[in-house]
Amino acid sequence: MPPASARDRILDTAFRLFYARGLRAVGVDLIIAESGVAKATFYKHFPAKDDLALAYLERVDGVWSGQLHAAAEAAGPRPADQLVGLFDALGTACRRDGYRGCAFINAAAESVPGTPVHDRTVAHKAEVLRWVTAVAAEAGAPDPRGLARSLTLLLDGGLASGALDGDPEAATRAAASARVLVDAALGAAPTTVTG
């Protein structure tokens, strides 16, 4: 493989450091040092730290959205099963070494509303909600947006719980709760949550 471009090295380094330590805790000088680029090269690609933070969030969005979609598709062709299956991505995330919760929730907590970084976090969450709403509509939910909102709240709670209490079983519980919500919304026989 060809060596990574300077921009890719900067972004790879930021991805690792921003997720592990947070946006505010990681300075430009550390990213420059760990990526092995000159300061002028850094600023050529990212004129401000917020530009790098936005590129980081864009990459996280691609990874996380890809994992959610893949988990939903792996659950089979039935949209109702896909609504529950997407929670398998949560289980995988919570079991990963170095898991620190949702990068978007973390970034939102560190940014001021109305700033580009905060706006990007809101846009990501809105896009996930839009996608889950579309799947809920395909499943025949009478209130697809309401079901999607309940499921995305559950997903965000599972992401936070996995980071706060370090218990990857939060994902299992979230998936079981998702099944109850989906069954109730679609008028299926009730499922009980155990555990």
Residue 36 CB-density burial (10 A; 0-12 exposed, 13-18 middle, 19+ buried):
exposed
Q: Over the stretch 139-190, which tens digit does the pLDDT of each residue have?
A: 999 999 999 999 999 999 998 887 787 777 888 899 999 999 999 999 865 5
Domain count, the chain: 2
What residues have CB less than 8 Å from 5, skipping those under 6 apart?
A: none
Same domain for 136 and 41: no
Share of the chain above pLDDT 90, in %: 79
Q: For residue 142, give both structure tokens.
A: 């009478």
Same domain for 39 and 100: no
Per the prediction, the chain carries an average pLDDT of 92
Same domain for 139 and 70: yes
Same domain for 87 and 154: yes
Domain that holds residue 179: 49-186
Q: Over the stretch 3-16, which tens digit does the pLDDT of each residue have?
A: 579 999 999 999 99
Q: 3-state SS string over 72-93?
A: HHHCCCCHHHHHHHCHHHHHHH
CATH number for the domain harbouring residue 15: 1.10.10.60
Q: Over the stretch 118-139, which tens digit does the pLDDT of each residue have?
A: 999 999 999 999 999 999 999 9
In a domain, 79, yes or no: yes
In a domain, 1, yes or no: yes
Same domain for 134 and 59: yes
Q: Over the stretch 64-80, which tens digit does the pLDDT of each residue have?
A: 999 999 999 999 999 99
pTM of structure: 0.89
pLDDT of residue 33 exceeding 80: yes
CATH number for the domain harbouring residue 78: 1.10.357.10
Q: What is the pLDDT of residue 164?
A: 81
Q: What is the pLDDT of residue 82?
A: 97
